[in-house]
Structure 1
Amino acid sequence: MTVAEKTPVNDNRNERILAYMLASAIGLSILAIIAVIAGTGFGVRNFGEGVWPFVIVLPTVGLPIGFILLVALIVMNAVKKSRAARDADE
């Protein structure tokens, strides 16, 4: 029996969900930074009104969350590889 047959489908699904969460958190944060730069270029001077407070705070929250998700994804991948190596030795 191969390692792929022993691994439940949830492992791959969890990694995939974590990767999408990571990409969306970092992607939205980068888009928010670009929006602030573009807003400044287009002459927005008052970032305290409308949607701008949310856009300014989003990278402050999104980038650390993305970093935590990246670390979690790396740890999950390392655990999966170590289990696969241990199972291959048996």
Structure 2
Amino acid sequence: MSTKPAPGDIPVRRIDRILAFMSLGLLVLSIVCFFAIIIATGTGMEQADFGAGIWPTVTAIVYIAPPVAFALLLALLIMTLVRRARANKVR
């Protein structure tokens, strides 16, 4: 059961939580993929073809996930600032 927020606090919406956790998840996934590439090259997979199998996807995640996570955080920040500005305007 959730508790009601204090009268001066702005409640956290579901979309705020979704954006925050998606951003965090993308960053964690990117870091895991980055270390997978480092470990694969360090264990002697230099001869392996990083252009075949799952490796192109892992490499793409390393390049694409951090900017997407940053964009999600910016969207969350803008939404929060707009919501607070509207709440302060009403008061």
- The TM-score with structure 1 as length reference comes to 0.80
> How many residues are aligned here?
83
Q: Does 1:85 align with 2:88?
A: yes
Alpha-carbon RMSD across the aligned residues, in angstroms, is 1.8
Q: Is the 8 A contact 1:3 1:84 kept in 2?
A: no
Paired residue type of 2:28 = G
Q: Runs of at least 4 residues of structure 1 off by over 3 A?
A: none
Judge conservation of contact 1:25–1:66 (CA < 8 Å) in 2: yes
- Other-structure match for 1:12: 13
Amino acid at match of 1:18: L
Q: Deviations over 1:61-90 (max 9, x none)?
A: 1111111101101101111211221122xx
The structure where helix makes up a greater share of residues is 1
- Which position in structure 1 is the counterpart of 2:28? 27
Q: Where does the alignment leave 5 or more consecutive residues of structure 1 unmatched? A: none
Q: TM-score, normalised by structure 2?
A: 0.79
1:18, 1:35 → 2: CA distance? 26
In structure 2, stretches of 5+ residues that fail to align are 1-6
